[in-house]
Amino acid sequence: MILTLSLNANVTKTNYILNTGGLLDERAYIKINEIGAEVKEKLNVNIYLDVKGDNGINIDLPMKEKIKLMKVAEKTLVKDLKKPYVILTLALDQKYSNILFSNNELKEIVDRDDVLDGYVIPLLAAKDKNTLMSKVSASTFNGYAQIGDAIAKSKNIKLESSIGSEGKTAGTIWKVFMYTLVLIGIVSYFFIILKEKKYKKEFYRRKEEEKINDEKKENNE
């Protein structure tokens, strides 16, 4: 049975978790703080997590306007964070996730696209029986852990709290699934086109036969 954290406050905020949105289960919460503490101790980098169900930005706004407001919200979010830092953010209602860095060195060490596309988004987007809390917990934990591993690897340090390559398994499965769907779609489209061409060819052949038969009838008459 998964124990959930109280939304009352002080419990949901730690040195590394800024907000949970009531969407982190206790196991992920504890493990993320464990990784954050070890990274801080061994690498002197602060890894933060900010999870919100709704960050207050109107989801009906045009995409360009939403992104602009997201950037403003991000600047407000990081202005008081201790440097150097990396922060993983997630706003569910806005379908927005990002990773922010306090300096270019960290930006070069942590591959933002790899973390989001390989560890975070696949688990969030998965169509399965898991609850929303389970998906958010797993995806943010995987992303957070990968950020820690990437920084540790750059310093040739092994984190005791590391989960290794386990976190990317779901992402890999998801990518294979998506590529399979695309391939099936392409093959299906190909067969539809062939079938349509065959139908048209048969249609014109019959029309030509009818024309020839009509001409024969006229000549016989």
Q: What is the pLDDT of residues 60-119, one digit of tens each?
A: 999 889 889 999 999 999 999 999 999 999 999 998 999 999 999 999 999 999 999 998
Kindly tell me if the per-residue pLDDT of 197 is higher than 80. Answer: no
Q: How far apart, in whole angstroms, are the C-alpha atoms of residue 30 and residue 137?
A: 11
**Cβ contacts of 74 within 8 Å, gap of 6 or more:** 89, 98, 100
Cα–Cα dist 128/138, whole Å: 13
Categorize the per-residue pLDDT at 139 as very low, low, confident or very high, splitting at 50, 70 and 90: very high
Q: Which whole number is the average pLDDT over 147-170?
A: 80
Give me the residue label for tokens 């048209």: 200
Which of the residue ranges 33-42, 125-134, 209-218 would you say has the lowest mean pLDDT? 209-218
State how far the Cα of 3 lies from the Cα of 29, in Å rounded to an integer: 11
Lowest pLDDT segment from 21-30, 102-111, 152-161, 175-184: 175-184
Tokens at 90, concatenated = 């997630």
**pLDDT, mean of residues 154-165:** 84
- Tell me the one-letter amino acid at 143: G
Please give the average per-residue pLDDT across 126-146, as a whole number.
89
**Full-prediction pTM beyond 0.85?**
no
CA angle at residue 102 from 82 to 50, to 5 degrees? Answer: 65
Single-letter residue type at 56: G
- So what's the pLDDT on residue 163? 77
How many Å apart are CA 153 and CA 29, to the nearest integer? 23
What is the length of the chain?
Answer: 221
Angstrom distance (rounded) from CA 146 to CA 167: 8
> Are 171 and 119 in contact, with CB atoms under 8 Å apart?
yes
pLDDT for 8 equals 35
Q: Residue 204: which pLDDT band, with cuts at 50, 70 and 90?
A: low
- Name the band, by pLDDT with cuts 50, 70 and 90, for residue 195: low
Stretch 189-211: mean pLDDT, rounded? 65
Alpha-helix runs per DSSP H in the chain: 26-43, 63-78, 104-109, 112-115, 121-125, 132-154, 166-220
